[in-house]
């Protein structure tokens, strides 16, 4: 009887160890790669996401970041700006505001293939982690740049609409809206707050992969 039990146990162990290796595992998407091939994300499935490109701004911008409340927009920051205004960068980290890399113009990466890796390294040193998202300043993504981003496990993020102020855009399901705080920009912080108040915003990840969580109330 004991022998039979031992043989059954051994058989179960062998099945547990060997069976998974004999089955082809389903393709699992890397958590850092949100597309299956090099590509640029410009729209999601549902809801709205707000992203803010930051390459210019001093005290008023720091005050806005300080007063910013959740749900936070995704801030894409230029490395040169982040180094120049280290207090603002530290504030972004302290408040745990989602932050990503705002790069140079798209064509510059073809002229200087090492530029992308350098910016990723500088961002990682500054914010303590590699960016999940990357956007060029002009939203031009040459194919070679898309492949570089894919290799570094960073997702290329465009936008559905770049809003420059004025009349509020009509809400569209899955939209990724962008406002740019740059030297020549005419948009104000009041404009951004007006846009934020115009609809419910979610994270980029939630807009790309919406989840419907149902909860049951426990009877008292």
Q: What angle do CA 122, 160, 167 make, to 5 degrees?
A: 110
Instruction: Give the C-alpha separation, 41 to 35, whole Å.
Output: 8
Q: What is the CATH number of the domain that holds 132?
A: 3.20.20.370
DSSP string, the chain: -HHHHHHHHHHHHHHHHHHHHHSPPPP---TT--SSSS-EE-B-SSSEEEEEEESS--HHHHHHHHH--SSPPEEEEEHHHHHHTHHHHHHHHHTT--EEEE---HHHHHH-TTHHHHHHHHHHHHHSS--SEEE-TT----HHHHHHHHHTT-EEE--SEE--SSSPPPP-TTEEEEEEE-TT----HHHHHHHHTTS-EE-HHHHHS-------PPP-
Cis peptide before 71 (omega within 30 of 0): yes
User: Which pLDDT score is estimated for 211?
Assistant: 67
Q: Does residue 61 lie within any of the structural domains?
A: yes
User: How sure is the predictor about 36, in pLDDT bands with cuts at 50, 70 and 90?
Assistant: low
Domain hosting 69: range is: 40-208
Q: How many domains does the chain have?
A: 1
Q: Does residue 92 lie within any of the structural domains?
A: yes
Tens-digit pLDDT profile for residues 69-98: 999 999 999 999 999 999 999 999 999 999
Q: Does residue 148 lie within any of the structural domains?
A: yes
Tens-digit pLDDT profile for residues 40-51: 999 999 999 999
Q: Does residue 68 lie within any of the structural domains?
A: yes
Query: Could you tell me which of 55, 59, 98 has the C-alpha nearest to residue 77?
Result: 55
User: How sure is the predictor about 33, in pLDDT bands with cuts at 50, 70 and 90?
Assistant: low
User: How sure is the predictor about 217, in pLDDT bands with cuts at 50, 70 and 90?
Assistant: very low
Q: Does residue 53 lie within any of the structural domains?
A: yes
If you average pLDDT over every residue of the chain, what do you get?
Answer: 84
Report the interhelical angle of 115-127 vs 86-94 (nearest 10°): 60
pTM of the model: 0.81
* Least confident interval from 90-104, 180-194, 199-213: 199-213
Instruction: For the chain, give the number of residues.
Output: 220
Tens-digit pLDDT profile for residues 89-134: 999 999 999 999 999 999 999 999 999 999 999 999 999 999 999 9
Q: Does residue 194 lie within any of the structural domains?
A: yes
- Judge whether 160 and 204 are in contact, CB under 8 Å: no
- Judge whether 158 and 40 are in contact, CB under 8 Å: yes
User: Which pLDDT score is estimated for 35?
Assistant: 63
Q: Does residue 30 lie within any of the structural domains?
A: no
- Judge whether 76 and 177 are in contact, CB under 8 Å: no
User: How sure is the predictor about 65, in pLDDT bands with cuts at 50, 70 and 90?
Assistant: very high
User: How sure is the predictor about 185, in pLDDT bands with cuts at 50, 70 and 90?
Assistant: confident
Q: Does residue 70 lie within any of the structural domains?
A: yes
């Amino acid at each position: 009887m004991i022998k039979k039990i031992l043989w059954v146990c051994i058989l179960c162990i062998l099945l547990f160890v060997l069976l998974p290796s004999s089955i082809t595992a389903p393709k699992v998407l890397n958590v850092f790669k949100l597309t299956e091939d090099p590509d640029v994300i410009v729209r999601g499935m549902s809801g709205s996401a707000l992203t803010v490109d930051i390459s210019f701004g001093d005290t008023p911008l720091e005050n806005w970041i300080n007063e910013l409340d959740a749900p936070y927009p995704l801030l894409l920051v230029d490395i040169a700006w982040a180094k120049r205004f280290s207090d603002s960068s530290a504030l972004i980290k302290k408040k745990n505001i989602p932050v990503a890399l705002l790069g140079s113009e798209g064509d510059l990466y073809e002229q200087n293939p090492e530029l992308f890796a350098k910016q990723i390294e500088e961002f990682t040193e500054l914010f303590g982690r590699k960016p999940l998202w990357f956007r060029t300043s002009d939203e031009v993504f040459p194919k070679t740049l898309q492949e570089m981003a894919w290799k570094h496990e960073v997702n290329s993020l465009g936008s559905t609409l770049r809003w420059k102020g004025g009349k509020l855009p009509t809400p569209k399901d899955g939209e990724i809206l962008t406002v740019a705080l740059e030297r020549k920009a005419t948009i104000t912080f009041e404009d951004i707050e007006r846009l934020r108040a115009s609809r419910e915003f979610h994270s980029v990840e939630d807009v790309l992969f919406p989840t419907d969580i149902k909860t049951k109330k426990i009877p008292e």
